[in-house]
Amino acid sequence: MIKYADFRNTKVRYSDKGKGRVIVLLHGFLESLEIFDEFSEKLSKRFRVISIDLPGHGQTPAIGYVHSMELMAECVKLVLDSLTLRKYVVVGHSMGGYVALAFAELFPQNVSGLCIFHSTAMPDSEEKKKDRERVMQIVKKDHTQFVSDLIPKLFAQENISLLKKEVVKAKQIALTTPKEGIVSALRGMKERPSRELVLKNAMFPILFIIGKQDAILAWENLLLLTSLPKRSFNIILEHSGHMGFYEALDETFKALRKFTGMCFRNQ
Ligand code: MLT
């Protein structure tokens, strides 16, 4: 069911499906809660799944000049508090993972487990920061070409023709992301700090989902982070790029179901 919560004078759109223990799904850059339609449908047979349009994405309007990862995490907390939820497993895809890490830093007592889904605790390199600036200039003029070029790169080459429907859907969602939302998120990602300490100090288990064909975040670098948490789990998807919930739906669903069950059993 689609619902709304108020955050800083804007309406935050989210979906709430299923019953029981809670999983929170946070989408990536240029995505919306709809990116998780199939994934959340499967998870909701077993858990209550909350999926949120982050500020400046989907149908949640942009709030400010910079959408820092902390601001987005506060928005997520507001939604969860409005439902009087206290403990949950937080799953963040890519930029959603940066938000999930900021959330875990700000509100560790609410986190039963964290899933870093094609994401990283490392900040942007200097080169990446420069690239964010370049992309901001392009997007301010016209974001359609940038989006059309980027989306296919999120999928492993071998999956592009197999997952035509999913590529089209990801593109449609990205094209409807408002320009201000794109630029504010780029500024927020560019200034995000390292959150290696969040991984290191976490009192809850952490699952890393890593795609071996990921063109956005190199799998070797992500694998290094898996040694930081005390209770660390990982799956490496041989045939997946940056979109494991499409490219390896069954595998990622089963891994997350098992991980979530374990997080709640161990409380
Ligand atoms: C994402 O998919 O959320 C972005 O590619 C993350 C990023 O640009 O760092």
pTM score above 0.85: yes
How many Å lie between the centroid of ligand 1 and the Cα of residue 12?
21
Rg (CA), the chain: 17
| Maximum CA extent, the chain | 50
pLDDT the model gives residue 143: 87
How many Å lie between the centroid of ligand 1 and the Cα of residue 66?
16
Q: What is the pLDDT of residues 168-219, one digit of tens each?
A: 999 999 999 999 999 999 999 999 999 999 999 999 999 999 999 999 999 9
Q: Is the CB of 69 under 6 A from ligand 1?
A: no
- CA dist., res. 3 & res. 52, Å (int): 10
Atom of ligand 1 nearest to the CA of 94: 3
How many Å lie between the centroid of ligand 1 and the Cα of residue 247?
17
Q: Is the CB of 244 under 6 A from ligand 1?
A: no
Backbone φ and ψ of 36, nearest 5°: -95, 15
pLDDT of 156 above 80 = yes
Residue nearest to atom 9 of ligand 1 (CA): 95
Q: Are 194 and 98 in contact (CB under 8 A)?
A: no
pLDDT of 125 above 90 = yes
- CA dist., res. 9 & res. 25, Å (int): 23
Strands of the sheet containing 206-211, edge to edge, are 2-7, 10-17, 48-52, 22-26, 88-93, 111-117, 206-211, 232-237
